[in-house]
């Protein structure tokens, strides 16, 4: 297959080279590997929007990396430096990610070159709606073919505007709400989507710590409690990851790296308080009770048990990889390690839990949201009260058989019917655990696989190759 040459340093080359290790471990025909790696389609749009009385031209992309399963799924990123290669790389990651967590979608990603901080709410709405119209008209956005979700620089607000734009252009489509996920709950979103990626990161970490042999192989011991964590990025993913680790797992966030510097406190930082401070002051500088340094990048090299890059790609490169001083790297962001950094860290026996698994919680709950939109009913609506009634019968039976009263706490737990949020978290936990176990199984059984990333790619590529084969692609 003839494909456009890529720069050797590019993000998409890095993703391809990581996947190549898995192709080698699987002994797959190079032709099949090229089919799986190639980006199926990409569109670039340039569109004008009147801003403060002047016309500004915006450039955006949407890539469909694979459509062996439909719709193709992937976030929409609003950032000043976004580019076509980045969008293609992230779309490829989505293909692998969906396969790893058994979400029946192809891979896609979109980006708009914009600094959202420079525009007010009304301007952002105009720009987002216009971008959505371009993608809809050109066949790159619909409930059945291509479904965006939030990523860096976008959130519920943008997703609601996109869904409404689609609805206006397709008033006859009953399923319009499924054209995008990550919407506000009152506009067809699902409880638990906003926290899903961060929560999924923590579920993977908990599963890792349930396997003492895996923990020992990483040079660690015990559980998450008391582990010293350096966290980079306090956006959607970083914030939820950090606060769950701190509040539910009693891990210690000893440093937090943001774009304008880092905060350090070896006794532990309070993630939500820092987030609130950041919301008010637009910086972490000056947050009380912690040491501030402008050199955030150097803080990634601080000694810790677990390093969690949750900000953006290419944060650990061949330049700083030799100095990274941790036992375990948990890739909450997409592509935080370059291929070269990954090679160096592997040789240094630093354990890496890969992005394609670790941050797949977002697309998993997006899948739940998409199903909810197509079924037009919230999860748990039919059975919740029925389950509660069964719980009451169960308690009555227990009391009459034992002759003893059931305690109030036990009664509450037995009687409680699952709300949508309970079901979403349960489905997410199950998905992340199962995916970790599949990846682990490959690592334990395939002698050519010696790291978690290659194992995760082997899981993904085996499923994708099978799907292409069944469809007669090769």
Q: How far is the CB of 469 from ligand NAD (least distance, A)?
A: 28
Count residues contacting ligand NAD (CB under 6 A)?
23
Q: Counting contacts by CB under 6 A, is residue 428 touching ligand NAD? A: no
Is 200 or 384 the residue whose CB approaches ligand NAD more closely?
A: 200
Q: How far is the CB of 100 from ligand NAD (least distance, A)?
A: 13
Is 238 or 354 the residue whose CB approaches ligand NAD more closely?
A: 238
Say how far apart CA 399 and CA 393 lie, in whole Å: 10
- Which one among 236, 241, 326, 454 touches ligand NAD, defined by CB under 6 A? 236
Question: What is the CA angle 308-311-316, rounded to 5?
Answer: 65
Q: Counting contacts by CB under 6 A, is residue 93 touching ligand NAD? A: no
Q: Counting contacts by CB under 6 A, is residue 87 touching ligand NAD? A: no
Per-residue contact flags (x/-) with ligand NAD for residues 255 to 274, judged by CB under 6 A: --xxx---------------
Give the range of 48-56, 307-315, 342-350, 372-380 binding ligand NAD by CB under 6 A. 307-315
Say how far apart CA 267 and CA 217 lie, in whole Å: 27
Q: Counting contacts by CB under 6 A, is residue 333 touching ligand NAD? A: yes
Per-residue contact flags (x/-) with ligand NAD for residues 279 to 298, judged by CB under 6 A: -----------------x--
Q: Counting contacts by CB under 6 A, is residue 334 touching ligand NAD? A: yes
- Which one among 188, 233, 354, 380 touches ligand NAD, defined by CB under 6 A? 233
Give the range of 10-18, 64-72, 234-242, 338-346 binding ligand NAD by CB under 6 A. 234-242
Q: Counting contacts by CB under 6 A, is residue 112 touching ligand NAD? A: no
Q: Counting contacts by CB under 6 A, is residue 460 touching ligand NAD? A: no
Q: How far is the CB of 315 from ligand NAD (least distance, A)?
A: 7
Which of 78, 199, 83 has its CA nearest to residue 127? 78
- Which one among 16, 88, 134, 151 touches ligand NAD, defined by CB under 6 A? 151
- Residue nearest ligand NAD by beta-carbon distance: 235
Q: Is 416 a catalytic residue?
A: no
Q: How far is the CB of 365 from ligand NAD (least distance, A)?
A: 9
Q: Counting contacts by CB under 6 A, is residue 465 touching ligand NAD? A: no
According to CB under 6 A, which residues from 152 to 171 bind ligand NAD? 152-153
* Three-class HEC string of the chain: CCCCCCCCCCHHHHHHHHHHHHHHHHCCCHHHHHHHHCCCEEEEEEEEEEECCEEEEEEEEEEECCCCCCCEEEEEEEECCCCHHHHHHHHHHHHHHHHHCCCCCEEEEEEEECCHHHCCHHHHHHHHHHHHHHHHHCCCCECCCEEEEECCCCCHHHHHHHHHHHHHHCCCCCCHHHHCCCCCHHHCCCCCCCCHHHHHHHHHHHHHHCCHHHHHHCCCCCCCCCCEEEEECCCHHHHHHHHHHHHCCCCEEEEEEECCEEEECCCCCCHHHHHHHHHHHCCCCCCCCCEEECCHHHHCCCCCCEEEECCCCCCECCCCHHHCCCCEEECCCCCCECHHHHHHHHHCCCEEECHHHHCCHHHHHHHHHHHHHHHCCCCCCCCHHHHHHHHHHHHHHHHHHHCCCCCHHHHHHHHCCCCHHHHHHHHHHHHHHHHHHHHHHHHHHCCCCCCHHHHHHHHHHHHHHHHHHHHCCC
- Which one among 94, 99, 202, 234 touches ligand NAD, defined by CB under 6 A? 234
Is 108 or 232 the residue whose CB approaches ligand NAD more closely?
A: 232
According to CB under 6 A, which residues from 347 to 386 bind ligand NAD? 359, 362
| Beta strand pairing call for 54-64 and 41-51 | antiparallel
Let me know: does 461 contact 446? Beta carbons within 8 Å: no
Say how far apart CA 228 and CA 245 lie, in whole Å: 11
Q: Counting contacts by CB under 6 A, is residue 312 touching ligand NAD? A: yes
Q: How far is the CB of 182 from ligand NAD (least distance, A)?
A: 7
Q: How far is the CB of 363 from ligand NAD (least distance, A)?
A: 7
Is 36 or 82 the residue whose CB approaches ligand NAD more closely?
A: 82
Is 87 or 345 the residue whose CB approaches ligand NAD more closely?
A: 87
Give the range of 145-153, 164-172, 372-380, 393-401 binding ligand NAD by CB under 6 A. 145-153
- Which one among 128, 142, 232, 241 touches ligand NAD, defined by CB under 6 A? 232
As given in the structure block, the two tokens for residue 57 are 């031209």
The catalytic position among 37, 97, 109, 227 is 109
Which of 274, 294, 295 has its CA nearest to residue 284? 274
Let me know: does 178 contact 172? Beta carbons within 8 Å: no
Say how far apart CA 327 and CA 350 lie, in whole Å: 5
According to CB under 6 A, which residues from 194 to 223 bind ligand NAD? 197
Q: How far is the CB of 367 from ligand NAD (least distance, A)?
A: 13
As given in the structure block, the two tokens for residue 273 are 């308080």
Is 220 or 316 the residue whose CB approaches ligand NAD more closely?
A: 316
Q: Counting contacts by CB under 6 A, is residue 443 touching ligand NAD? A: no
Active site residues: 109
In the complex, the residues that contact ligand NAD under the rule CB under 6 A are 150-153, 197, 232-238, 257-259, 296, 310-312, 333-334, 359, 362
């Amino acid at each position: 297959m003839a494909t456009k040459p890529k720069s050797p340093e590019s993000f998409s080359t890095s993703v391809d080279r990581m996947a190549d290790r898995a192709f080698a471990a699987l002994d797959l025909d190079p032709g099949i590997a090229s089919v799986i790696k190639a980006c199926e389609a990409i569109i670039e749009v340039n569109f004008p929007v009147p801003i403060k009385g002047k016309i500004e031209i915006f450039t955006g992309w949407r890539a469909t990396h694979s459509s062996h399963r439909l719709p193709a799924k992937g976030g929409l990123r609003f950032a000043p430096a976004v580019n076509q290669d980045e969008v293609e790389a992230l779309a490829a990651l989505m293909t692998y990610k969906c396969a790893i967590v058994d979400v029946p979608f192809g891979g896609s990603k979109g980006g708009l070159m914009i600094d959202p901080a420079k525009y007010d709410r009304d301007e952002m709405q105009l720009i987002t709606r216009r971008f959505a119209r371009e993608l809809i008209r050109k066949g790159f956005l619909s409930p059945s073919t291509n479904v965006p979700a939030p990523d860096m620089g976008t959130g519920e607000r943008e997703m609601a505007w996109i869904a409404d734009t689609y609805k206006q252009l397709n008033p006859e489509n009953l399923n319009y709400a499924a054209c995008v996920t990550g919407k506000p709950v009152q506009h067809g979103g699902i409880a638990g989507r906003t926290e899903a990626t961060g929560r999924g990161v923590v579920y993977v970490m908990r599963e890792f710590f349930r396997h003492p042999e895996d923990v020992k192989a990483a040079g660690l011991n015990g559980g998450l409690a008391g582990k010293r964590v350096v966290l980079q990025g306090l956006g959607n993913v970083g914030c939820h990851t950090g606060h769950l680790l701190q509040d539910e797992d009693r891990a210690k966030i000893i440093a937090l790296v943001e774009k304008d510097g880092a905060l350090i406190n070896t006794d532990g930082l309070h993630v939500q308080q820092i987030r609130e401070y950041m919301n008010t002051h637009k910086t972490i500088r000056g947050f009380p009770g912690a040491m501030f340094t402008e050199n955030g990048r150097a803080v990634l090299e601080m000694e810790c048990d677990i390093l969690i890059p949750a900000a953006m790609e290419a944060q650990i490169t061949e330049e700083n990889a030799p100095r990274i001083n941790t036992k375990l790297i948990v890739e909450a962001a997409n592509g935080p390690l370059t291929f070269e950094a990954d090679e160096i860290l592997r040789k240094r026996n630093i354990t890496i839990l890969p992005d394609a698994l670790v941050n797949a919680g977002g697309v998993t709950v997006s899948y739940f949201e998409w199903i909810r939109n197509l079924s037009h009913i919230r999860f748990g609506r039919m059975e919740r009260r029925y389950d509660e009634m069964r719980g009451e019968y169960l308690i009555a039976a227990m009391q009459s058989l034992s002759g003893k009263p059931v305690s109030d706490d036990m009664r509450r737990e037995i009687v409680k019917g699952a709300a949508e949020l309970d079901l979403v978290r349960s489905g997410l936990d199950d998905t992340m655990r199962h995916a970790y176990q599949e990846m682990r199984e490959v690592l334990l059984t395939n002698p050519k696989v010696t790291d978690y990333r290659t194992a995760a790619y082997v899981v993904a590529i085996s499923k994708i190759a099978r799907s292409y084969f069944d469809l007669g692609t090769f």
